[in-house]
Amino acid sequence: MKENKRQDYCIPLFSLLIAVLSICFSSFFGTNSTYAQGDTLALIWSPPKLDSTVSHYKIYCSVDSSDYNSIGTSPDTAFSFMGSLGHTYRVKVSAVNSFGIEGALSEASKDTFLSGVDDKEAKKIPKTFSLDQNFPNPFNSTTAIRYQLPVISGQLSVVNGQRSAVSHRLSAEGKPRSTNTMHVSLKIYNTLGELVNDLVDEEQVPDFYSVIWNGRDNSGREVCSGVYYYQLQFGYFIRTRKMIFLK
């Protein structure tokens, strides 16, 4: 009889533990960061303190102040999608734990209006080489690195390499604008000059790009807090910038 009583108590305690974990999800989100380019909107958010309990995230979107509808899931704290020009978007995120329990929605992101570009702007190819400051910076989970590649005549690409993060095209048409490809590398280094991550190592056409780094090295391990440098090389162009990772 005593053994049966112990088993009866195990069920409520287990349920209580799951409930507590679910409650923890309701208040971890910080301010969401959004940016738009053409018809693409990208979202970055902060992870929970107990990130080991998160299985994935669910993304909800409101268009022109309509009700929020689920538009997808993400295993990481970043998500991008294509919208319709001329509309305003607002996004919320929730976390789902390993038991399949979904926490409360985060606060809404700022209103983002997809203005797009006109036909003349869409046909333009970058005339200059540039590497923007990462955003957000400092960051504690993921950060976006944006850059643009110009046309360089007489330069040929080399063999493709493998990348450890997916680069997201931000062109208005969503298609390559030129067949003039060249090898591009975007690498992350620590303050000792040691290679941390080969973020991009492939052929790319002249265009506008954005890459998300999740604060992990080439082996998938999360890096330590501190200062890091990201270096972009495209042909004879080389540019380096500093960023700060905070846990």
> Of 152, 151, 169, whose CA–CA distance to 208 is shortest?
169
Residues 163 and 215 in one domain: yes
- Name residue, tokens 């495209």: 234
Give Dmax over CA atoms of the chain in angstroms. 85
The answer as to whether 8 is a domain residue is no
Q: Which two tokens stand for residue 72?
A: 């997808």
Q: What is the CATH number of the domain that holds 96?
A: 2.60.40.10
The answer as to whether 14 is a domain residue is no
What is the number of alpha carbons within 13 Å of residue 66 lying toward its C-beta?
A: 10
Chosen domain end from 69, 95, 113: 113
Check: CB of residue 109 under 8 Å from CB of residue 9: no
The pLDDT value recorded for residue 231 is 96
The pLDDT value recorded for residue 43 is 80
Consecutive 10-residue runs of the chain (247 residues): their mean pLDDT? Answer: 48 47 47 64 74 81 92 83 83 86 84 64 70 87 87 44 36 43 91 94 88 91 94 89 91
- Other CB atoms closer than 10 Å to residue 3's CB: what's the count? 7
Q: What is the CATH number of the domain that holds 164?
A: 2.60.40.1930
Number of domains in the chain: 2
The answer as to whether 226 is a domain residue is yes
The pLDDT value recorded for residue 243 is 95
Alpha carbon distance 241, 243 (integer Å): 7
The answer as to whether 104 is a domain residue is yes
Residues 149 and 234 in one domain: yes
> Of 199, 174, 172, whose CA–CA distance to 184 is shortest?
199
Q: What are phi and psi of 16, to 5 degrees?
A: -65, -40
The pLDDT value recorded for residue 77 is 80
The pLDDT value recorded for residue 50 is 61
Query: Buried b vs exposed e over 190-206: b needs ≥16 C-beta within 10 Å?
Result: beeeeebbbbbbbebbb
Alpha carbon distance 155, 147 (integer Å): 19
> Of 145, 149, 150, whose CA–CA distance to 133 is shortest?
145
Chosen domain end from 91, 113, 135: 113
Q: To the nearest 10°, report the CA torsion of 93, 97, 98, 99.
A: -120
**What's the whole-model pTM score?**
0.52
The pLDDT value recorded for residue 142 is 84
Q: Which two tokens stand for residue 93?
A: 């995120």
> Of 56, 49, 60, whose CA–CA distance to 140 is shortest?
49
The pLDDT value recorded for residue 33 is 65
The pLDDT value recorded for residue 152 is 65
Chosen domain end from 113, 143, 166: 113
The pLDDT value recorded for residue 196 is 95
pLDDT digits (tens, 9 = 90+) for 170-208: 433 444 344 467 889 999 999 999 999 999 999 988 888
The pLDDT value recorded for residue 147 is 92
The answer as to whether 97 is a domain residue is yes
Full residue range of the structural domain in which residue 125 is found: 121-245
- Name residue, tokens 């992870």: 47
Residues 52 and 100 in one domain: yes
Question: Based on the number of CB atoms within 10 Å of its own CB, is 229 exposed (0-12), middle (13-18) or buried (19 or more)?
Answer: middle
The pLDDT value recorded for residue 127 is 78
CA-CA distances (angstroms) from residue 184 to 158, 205, 229?
9, 9, 17
